[in-house]
Amino acid sequence: MPHRIKPAEPLNQSDPPPNHVAIIMDGNGRWAKERGLPRSFGHRQGVEAVRRAVRAAIEIGIPYLTIFSFSSENWKRPADEIDDLMGLMKRFIRRDLAELHEAGVAIRTIGERQQVDNELTALIDEAVELTRDNKALTLVIAFNYGSRGEIAKAARRLAERVAAGHLDPSQITVDAMASVLDTSGIPDPDLLIRTSGEMRLSNFLLWQTAYTEFVFLDCYWPDFDKAALESAISEFRARERRFGGLSKRSTA
């Protein structure tokens, strides 16, 4: 069942935050529809929620934050909505890049470049290069991203190395596969949050979330704020992560 947001008590600073939080930002359209507004307005309010989430992650001390901003399946949406989403991404970079850089945010993107226009690609490259050495937070933007495609591409890379004689099939291991994924060098998420009450991954980080804790929130993404993030982290901290082993309680 989705986790209802409760007034979160201040997080205990002695407990380290999750190393990596991933978010499926869902519910922009439904948020707008319930208010009699066009979907585009919901997407614009969703960008404001991204800004709040980034600020909150820095304040809490989360090292990695990944946001699912545009999936490879989103191209099926109406052309005017796609154009609006692309425009929002461009405006976000233009408006926020200097502030993110000053705050010590390193931007990284995962996903494909096919179908993405040259102007947006250039803006993304500029953002990644400018912020490359920042340390306060790594903001991973999953844009034109689909996990099945990512895994297939990684398998193809390893197969090409085998065909070229640079890799023996016996060397294809979990670590070898992880090294050729888009997320190479990024730790797997400890916590994945999805807003809007939906409970599915929607082709997001399928490989990387093998042992991730999931928290499904019943709020729509435009309403997401620091309190919602803290509520999800509190739920995360209440769980026992066993990674396939036995519960500590069962061995006591």
The CATH number of the domain holding residue 126 is 3.40.1180.10
pLDDT of res. 114: 86
Residue 2 forms part of a structural domain: no
pLDDT tens digits, 42-56: 999 999 999 999 999
Is residue 153, in this structure, part of any structural domain at all? Answer: no
Catalytic residue among 12, 15, 19, 26: 26
Residue 68's domain spans which residues? Answer: 20-146+187-242
| Cα separations in angstroms, 102 against 53, 99, 133, 154 | 17, 5, 12, 34
- For residue 158, tell me if it sits in a domain: no
Residue 26 known to be catalytic: yes
Query: Above 70 in pLDDT, residue 100?
Result: yes
User: What pLDDT score was predicted for residue 7?
Assistant: 46
Structural domain total, the chain? 1
- Identified catalytic residue from 12, 15, 19, 74: 74
Asked if residue 173 is part of any domain, the answer here is no
Residue 36 domain flag: yes
Q: Does residue 117 have an active-site annotation?
A: no
pLDDT in tens, 199-228: 999 999 999 999 999 999 999 999 999 999
| 177 lies in some domain | no
Compute the distance between CA of residue 239 and CA of residue 218 in angstroms, rounded to an integer. Answer: 19
The owner of tokens 């986790």 is: 3
pLDDT digits (tens, 9 = 90+) for 28-87: 999 999 999 999 999 999 999 999 999 999 999 999 999 999 999 999 999 999 999 999
> Is residue 13 included in any domain, yes or no?
no
pLDDT at position 227 is 96
In a domain, 230, yes or no: yes
